């Protein structure tokens, strides 16, 4: 629900989350000798994510780390946990990066600009975000392909154009009954 990288999730601290502002700060963690892959950034928290994070807070294992291991330390087994969750749900095994990519793809399919997607994902260069332009084209192609059955019916004469009382016209199925 954020498009965060695996390392960003592993190093996410409660201090990075501002529930009042509704944002997550992706920032360096000198105490872990860790820096974000790209520049520091701010990620908005959706209402659904807010609920998940509040539940996570109620069940927290650490006062510092959001996703701590059972001992309250840095959890470096997030991928393994994700794969076990996928197996239990009987869905295709995934990776953390695949979830990140899905986040970007779904944003693009929802009409979000490439620049905004790049900002949310923390891309330094818009060229990196261009992969999502292809996703949009595939999404639009799939939408247009839904017209194929309609066009086939039109070419067989099964649809006729009807004049509406307001002067507009509409395609409608050809009626076998006499009007």
Give pLDDT, residue 60. 95
Give pLDDT, residue 172. 60
Per the structure, the complete domain to which residue 48 belongs is given by: 1-76
Q: Is 149 helix (H, G, I), strand (E, B) or coil?
A: helix
155 found inside a domain: no
pLDDT per residue as tens digits for the range 126-174 = 888 888 877 777 777 787 787 766 665 555 666 656 666 776 666 566 6
CA distance 115 to 127: 10
pLDDT per residue as tens digits for the range 39-94 = 899 999 999 999 999 999 999 999 999 999 999 999 989 999 999 999 999 999 88
- Cα separations in angstroms, 22 against 27, 52, 53, 65, 100: 16, 13, 11, 18, 20
122 found inside a domain: no
Which DSSP symbol is given to 147? T
At residue 34 the predicted structure's pLDDT band, cuts being 50, 70 and 90, is: very high
36 found inside a domain: yes
Q: What is the DSSP string of 39-64?
A: --EEEEPPHHHHHHHHHHHHT-S-SS
pLDDT per residue as tens digits for the range 109-124 = 888 999 999 999 999 8
Give pLDDT, residue 144. 78
- Asked whether 105 and 120 are in contact (CB, 8 A), the reply is no
Give pLDDT, residue 131. 85
Supply the CATH number for residue 57's domain. 1.10.443.10
159 found inside a domain: no
119 found inside a domain: no
Give pLDDT, residue 159. 60
Site of tokens 């990075």: 16
87 found inside a domain: no
99 found inside a domain: no
176 found inside a domain: no
Give pLDDT, residue 132. 83
Number of domains composing the chain: 1
Site of tokens 């507009």: 168
């Amino acid at each position: 629900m954020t498009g965060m990288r695996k390392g960003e999730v592993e190093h996410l601290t409660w201090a990075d989350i501002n529930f009042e502002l509704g944002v997550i700060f992706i920032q360096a963690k000198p105490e872990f000798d860790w820096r974000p892959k790209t520049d520091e950034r701010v990620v908005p928290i959706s209402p659904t994510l807010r609920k998940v994070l509040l539940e996570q807070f109620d069940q927290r294992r650490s006062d510092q780390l959001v996703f701590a291991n059972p001992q309250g330390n840095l959890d470096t087994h997030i991928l393994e946990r994700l794969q076990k969750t996928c197996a239990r749900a009987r869905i295709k095994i995934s990776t953390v990066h695949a979830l990140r990519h899905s986040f970007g793809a779904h944003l693009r399919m929802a009409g979000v600009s490439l620049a905004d997607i790049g900002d949310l994902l923390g891309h330094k260069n818009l060229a990196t975000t261009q992969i999502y332009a292809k996703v949009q084209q595939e999404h639009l192609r799939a939408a247009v392909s839904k017209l194929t059955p309609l066009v086939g019916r039109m070419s067989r004469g099964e649809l006729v154009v009807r004049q509406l009382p307001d002067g507009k016209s509409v395609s409608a199925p050809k009626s076998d009954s006499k009007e």
